Amino acid sequence: MELDPDIVKEFENLEVATEKPSEEELCSFDEEAPLKATPQLQHHTYSTIPKFFHAPPPAHNTLRQNLRKEAHSLFLQKRSQELLDNDELGALWTLLEKHCTQVTPLGQQLIDYDDYLKLLEAVSAKCKKYVTARLYAKLLCHSMYPANFAGKVEIASIFNYTMRKVWLTQGRIGLSFYDEIGQGYLREIDMENYIIDIIPTLAQISSCVQPSFQSFYVCTVVKKFFFFLDPLHTGRIRIRDILASGLLTELLELRDEEAPKETQELNWFSMPSVLTVYGNYLNLDKDHNGMLSKQELAGYGTGTLTSVFLDRVFDECRTFDGEMDYKTFLDFVLALDNRHEPQSLHYLFRILDVQHKGYLTAQTLHYFFKGIQEQISAVNAEAVNFEDLKDEIFDMVKSKDPFKITLQDLINCGQAETVVSILIEFHKFWAYENREDGSHNV
């Protein structure tokens, strides 16, 4: 499509203003006012440019705030009515079985495109939004069946896709009801309200959580969402990120009250897991003041975190009169328990980056190695040469700059958990040093 010559000429003659606007000009700016043409912008199309951003109404405008919330609620209710319920999903499965084209020797039920078209005519109007020709084409592209079953897809794949899409949409609508601002993300208070409201639906939790412990349970749950989905501490997480992360799926697994105990213990959101974390916090709190001092935190895990590392934790993390509260402790636990994850490495790198330069040097590594040396001396173990350790670390990381290690270098190398562990924890360091002869005890 060719551009209008008049428009091209307008842009060629357009001058870029370099003078800073005065305060009067800034104060007179009204985002609601229509676009006014300047002498250089006379083309008739400029006055009809649509507004592509609508800022939320100010807090003091109660009428617009309430109108926005009501419109948002009505929209979500309408979307909820489009979801398939259990009866409709059951009817879909019945139709899928009815239109099955072929059954494999292993019992998989397949459907070809001709029968799929007949299925599309038979399903309800609501189902047609889920079961589409595009879906069939996508599933066919990923079909791994041999030539005698070519051109067919498994009906279970169609049904599972529909089930998952219904669940994701349902989850998005449910979370969106707590998005008071209506911008597609949740603040910490929004997420807390959501968790409180769904606790009665979580069979594994509702029957055992005491009112006095509920706030600690909610805090523990919400902290994991924000630790992994808001590593930059913006104070909000996108709803789409919550759905994509899999964390919500893990939380909603607690609806199954018959899940084995082993499975529950592996789920951060389960009551046994939360009680373990909270119990550790209480056990470390020797003076029972509800906070952890540096000396108390030193007992965490194997009790071999170096004093140098703990000093840096209390330098960088939020504390109250030099002591750590439960929320800060949860960040600490999540970081140490998930050292292979980028979010944890982001947390730990901030601790290691003593000079806030955005990279680690040999000098930085030596600073943390001093903490390891202290514990080596304390157990009368054989001394370790720092130069050898430094070379090993740089060999593992393979950083772009041979004298600097950035956070991205750590994430990319695949050895970040080992590198970080041997700098901050004597127990992990000793296991690494003696990995070949199996002598892990000191």
Domain range summary for the chain, segments of one domain joined by +:
5-48, 86-169, 178-273, 292-433
Q: What are phi and psi of 242, to 5 degrees?
A: -60, -45
CATH architecture of 178-273: Orthogonal Bundle (1.10)
The pLDDT-based confidence of 146 (bands split at 50, 70, 90) is low
Strands (E), 35-105: 102-103
pLDDT of residue 168: 87
Sign, CA torsion 101/102/108/113 = negative
Residues 91-106 pLDDT 10s = 999 999 999 998 888 8
**Each residue's pLDDT tens digit, 218-277:** 999 999 999 999 988 899 999 999 999 989 989 988 988 777 777 777 899 999 999 999
Is residue 33 scored above 80 in pLDDT?
no
What's the length of the chain? 442
The domain made up of 86-169 has a fold known as Recoverin; domain 1 (1.10.238)
How far apart CA 387 and CA 381 sit, in angstroms, is 18
pLDDT greater at residue 441 or residue 373 = 373
Q: What is the pLDDT of residue 11?
A: 40
Please state the pTM of the whole predicted model. Answer: 0.77
pLDDT tens digit string along 272-323? 999 999 999 999 999 999 999 999 999 999 899 999 999 999 999 999 999 9
What is the Rg, in whole angstroms, of the alpha carbon atoms belonging to the chain? 29
- Which tokens in the block code for residue 113? 């495109």
Q: What is the CATH number of domain 292-433?
A: 1.10.238.10
